[in-house]
Amino acid sequence: MTQVLETPLEPKAPPTPAERTAHRKALLEWIGIHSLGIAAALFFTLPFVFVFLTSLMSDSQALSRDLIPHTWEWDNYRRVFDTPGFLTWWRNTLFYAFLGTALTVISSIPVAYALAKFRFRGRNLALMLVISMMMLPPQVVIIPMYLFWAKQLDLSGSLWPLIIPMAFGDAFSIFLLRQFLTTIPDEYVDAAKVDGCGDVRTLLKVVLPMARPGIAAVALFQFFYAWNDYFGPQIYASENPGAWTLSYGLESFKGAHHTDWNLTMAATVLVMAPVILVFFFAQKAFVEGVTLTGVKG
């Protein structure tokens, strides 16, 4: 397919009619595919563009039908930050995302390692249970869990009911890590054992350094999960605005700013931006992670 690219560029001796049709066909294919690509790119990017443009409109223009801002109101972003609570939501989200991710990674690694490298009875059963947990909608167990956290432990109105469980392994992370760890040849593990390393040291010194991409992928997924989570904060934190996260607060932002779509869209941009920035820094690990869930599965 590489010749497709070169075709229109290289002038050659007068081509035969057959060659010419082949060239024309290849050229048409190149044009066709790239037009499709551009059309698709527009579909994927225009929503971002419109959101961004609206975020810079004046209040009076935001409900009109014009697409381009008449005046560029960068001040909207400052106004978003001035919204009572917005900075708190940021802080809470970062807290939830970072602490949750750290706890998930730390607690999931040993489990994933055991499931990938240890031979024991019930291993397949355990793995099946992990997958079942992974596929379980959080709403299934929410009633008893809510009563447990709110009534027994008086932790509603905070993010702890969401963070604490992450210290006990997250099914998706365990599964993903286990998939990754199985790709590390047993010989490395055995060699470490021969050198006299115990299980913990083998895991720390030999396996973990090799599993770094897998861990990075897990950490990213978990970070995004916490960042995006709406149901969790809605159940546990809704009653205390001091514990809201960005994803939860954004919706109420619409309420506080009424139909000021410009401000709502500016807030939307501010919620999207960090995720996209993280992606640019960790693109490779992320794409690998996605592939791991599907292909290696």
Q: Does 21 bind another protein (CB under 8 A)?
A: no
Residue 28 binding another protein, by CB under 8 A: no
**Residue list 77-116, contact with another protein (CB under 8 A):** 107-108, 110-111, 113-116
296 forms part of the interface with another protein (CB under 8 A) = yes
Report the distance separating Cα 55 and Cα 62, nearest Å: 8
| Contacting residue, 9, 13, 18, 135, with another protein by CB under 8 A | 135
Q: Does 287 bind another protein (CB under 8 A)?
A: yes
31 touches another protein (CB under 8 A): no
Question: Among 8-16, 17-25, 144-152, 204-212, which window interacts with another protein (CB under 8 A)?
Answer: 144-152
Q: Using CB under 8 A as the criterion, what x/- string covers residues 61-80 for binding another protein?
A: --xxx-x-------------
Least distance to another protein, CB of residue 131, Å: 6
Give the one residue of 4, 26, 94, 282 binding another protein; rule: CB under 8 A.
Answer: 4
- Which residue pairs from 229-234 have beta carbons closer than 8 angstroms and sit at least 24 positions apart in sequence? 229/96, 229/162, 231/138, 231/139, 232/138, 232/159, 232/161, 232/162, 233/159, 233/162
Q: How many residues does the chain have?
A: 297
256 near another protein, judged by CB under 8 A? yes
Stretch of 7-15, 19-27, 74-82, 230-238 contacting another protein, by CB under 8 A: 230-238
Task: Name the minimum Å distance from CB 104 to another protein.
Answer: 10
Alpha carbon distance, N-terminus to C-terminus of the chain: 30
User: Under a CB-based contact definition with an 8 Å cutoff, are residues 227 and 159 in contact?
Assistant: no
How many residues of this chain interact with another protein, rule: CB under 8 A?
112
5 sits near another protein (criterion: CB under 8 A): yes
Minimum distance from residue 72 beta carbon to another protein (Å): 17
Q: Does 54 bind another protein (CB under 8 A)?
A: yes
Residues 163-202 that bind another protein (CB under 8 A): 165, 167-169, 174, 178-179, 182, 199
Q: Among 56, 211, 217, 271, which residue interacts with another protein (rule: CB under 8 A)? A: 271
Binding segment (CB under 8 A) for another protein, from list 2-10, 70-78, 94-102, 207-215: 2-10
The footprint of another protein on residues 200-229 (CB under 8 A) is 224, 227-228
154 binds another protein per the rule CB under 8 A: yes
